[in-house]
Structure 1
Amino acid sequence: MTRTQKTVFVLFAIVALVLGLTVNKVLNSKGQADPTKLLDAGIVLLPQSRNLPDLELTDQNGQPFKVSQFKDQWSLLFFGYTFCPDICPATLAELRQIRGQLPAETRDKLRIVMISVDPNRDTPEQLKKYLNYFDPQFMGLTAPEPVIQKLANAVSIPFIPADTSKPNYTVDHSGNLVIIGPDGTQRGFIRAPLNNQKLVEQLPELVAE
C-alpha cells in the first residue's frame, strides 16, 4: 500500500468514525426535548434544579400535603386564588384545555396544582369547589400566608399580600407556572401568557424522561 493509499484509508476511517459518533448521538438523543423548541413554547429550564423547602400545606380535601410529596410525578404549580377576577380563571381554563389535548401517557405523569395566595378566603372547601369547575383532577393547596410566601419565594414566584381588611380585595401575583420534576426539585418555569398549541406539542417531550 502506497503512502497516498494509506493517507486515503486513514481519512476514510476518520470520516467513518465521526459519522458513527454523530449517528450514535442522534439516536441516543431521540425522545429528548429540544431546548430551542421548549423555549419557543414558553418553557424555560433552569441551568441547575432547585431544592424546595420542607413545608406542609393542606390540600382541597383538607388533608396535609408535604412539599416532598411532589416527588414521583411532574407538577405544574400555579400561584393564584379563587376570587381572582381575570388571570386565574383564564389560566385554569387554558390548563384544562391543554391537559385535555395531551396524550393519556403524558396526562398520567403530569399534575396541575393551584397554590392559593389568598389563604384568608381560600379554605380547602372553597378550593375544591372552585377547581372542580375547571377539572376535578386539578389539585388545590393552601396554608398560612408565611408558609405560602416561603414557598413562592423559593421558586421565584413572589406575590404581594393583600390588605384583607378591605372588601373585595385582590392579590397581585404572577401568571407564570412552576415546573417541578419527579425528583421533587424545581426544573424551570412556563412563561405567561400560555401558548396552548406549542405546550401541547412540547409537554410530552418534557415529561418523557
Structure 2
Amino acid sequence: MTKSQRNVFILVALIALAMGLAFNNLMTKPNQGNSAARSEAGIILLPQSRQLPAITLTNQNAEPVLINELKGQWSLLFFGYTYCPDICPTTLSQLRQIKSELPKEAQDNLQVVLVSVDPNRDTPKQLKKYLSYFDPQFVGLTPRSIEELQTLSNAVSIPFIPADTRKPNYTVDHSGNLALIGPDGTQRGFIRAPFNTQKMVAQLPGLVEGK
C-alpha cells in the first residue's frame, strides 16, 4: 500500500470514529449513566438507525445471505479475512471469549459475523474451516465482488483498502471496529477497537437482551 493510500485509510477511519463520537455525545443527554458506561466499553449507538444495502453475500455453507436480512438477532459485523496475520485472530478470539461469558439469553440474541475483505482467497470452504478454530456458530460471509463489498463498507462506515492480489502473500488493510446490527436488520451503532473484554461483557446484555 502506498503512503497516500495509507493516509487516506487513516483519515477515513478517523472521520468514522469522530462521527461515532459525535453521535454518542448526542445520545448521552437523555440517558447519561447508561451511555457513559457503554461509551467506556467502546459501544457507540447511533441517534438514528441506518438501513443496510440489499447486497447478497455467500456464507460458509455456500448459501446466499442478503445482508439487510440479518434479522431476529443482534449481529456484531466484523470486516476481516482468514489470512490476516494479527487483527482478525485476536478479534475473533476476544469475541469468542466475550460471547462465552454473557448470560444465555444474551448469547442466544447475539451472533458474530465475519465479512471477508479478501474474496479472492476466502471461499466458503476456507471461511468454514477458519471459523471452526474459534466458534463454529460464527457466521462467515464472502462478497461476490470488491465493488459490492465497498458499498457495504461505506454504508456501515467500516473502512478497508482493497489489496493488490497480484502480489504474493498480500495483506489487506482494514478497520478493527465492529458494526452493531439490530434484530430489525438495521445498523444501530459501532463498537470501537481495541476491545475491553470485561466492560463489553458488562454492557452487552442490557443492550442485546432487549429488542
Q: Same fold (TM over 0.5)?
A: yes
Deviations 1:188-208 (A, max 9, x none): 000000110000000001113
Correspondence 1:1-209 to 2 at 5 A: 34-143=34-143, 144-209=145-210
- What one-letter code is carried by the residue in structure 2 that aligns with 1:206? L
**SS at the partner of 1:121?**
coil
CA drift of 1:69 comes to 2.2
Return the alpha-carbon distance in structure 2 between the equivalents of residues 79 and 145 of structure 1.
13
Structure 1 residue 84 displacement after superposition: 0.3
Any idea what the Cα deviations from partners look like across 1:15-73, whole Å, max 9, x if unmatched? xxxxxxxxxxxxxxxxxx81111111000111111111111000000000011321121
**Could you tell me how far apart the structure 2 residues matched to 1:109 and 1:154 are?**
23
Say if 2:51 and 2:68, in contact at 8 Å, map to a contact too.
no
Deviations 1:135-171 (A, max 9, x none): 0010000012111111111000121000000000000
Alignment RMSD, CA only? Answer: 0.9
How far apart in 2 are the matches of 1:179 and 1:127? 21
Question: After TM superposition, which residue ranges in structure 1, 4 or more long, deviate above 6 angstroms?
Answer: none
Q: C-alpha distance in 1, partners of 2:34/2:185?
A: 22
The letter of the residue matching 2:113 is V
Identity of aligned residues (%): 67
- Counterpart-to-counterpart distance in 2, 1:163 and 1:68: 29
| In structure 1, C-alpha distance between the alignment counterparts of 2:108 and 2:69, rounded to whole Å | 16
| TM-score, normalised with respect to structure 1 | 0.83
The whole-number CA distance in structure 2 between the counterparts of 1:67 and 1:122 is 17
AA at the equivalent of 1:192: A
CA distance in 2, matches of 1:80, 1:99: 19
* 2:98 and 2:200 in contact (8 A); partners too: yes
Which letter maps to 1:160? Answer: I
Amino acid in structure 1 at the alignment position of 2:164 = D
Distance between the aligned counterparts of 2:200 and 2:60, measured in 1? 26
**Mapped partners of 1:149, 1:111: distance in 2:** 22
**Residue of structure 2 equivalent to 1:29:** none
CA contact (8 A) 2:75 2:180 kept: yes
SS in 1 for 2:79: strand
Aligned residue in 2 for 1:10 = none
Computing the radius of gyration over CA atoms, which structure comes out larger, 1 or 2?
1
Aligned to 2:46, what secondary structure does the other structure show?
A: strand
**Does the 8 A contact of 2:68 with 2:186 survive in 1?**
no
Query: In 2, distance between residues paired with 1:174 and 1:131?
Result: 19
CA distance in 2, matches of 1:202, 1:39: 10
Q: Which amino acid aligns with 2:128?
A: K
SS of the aligned residue for 1:147 comes to helix
Aligned letter for 2:154? Answer: N
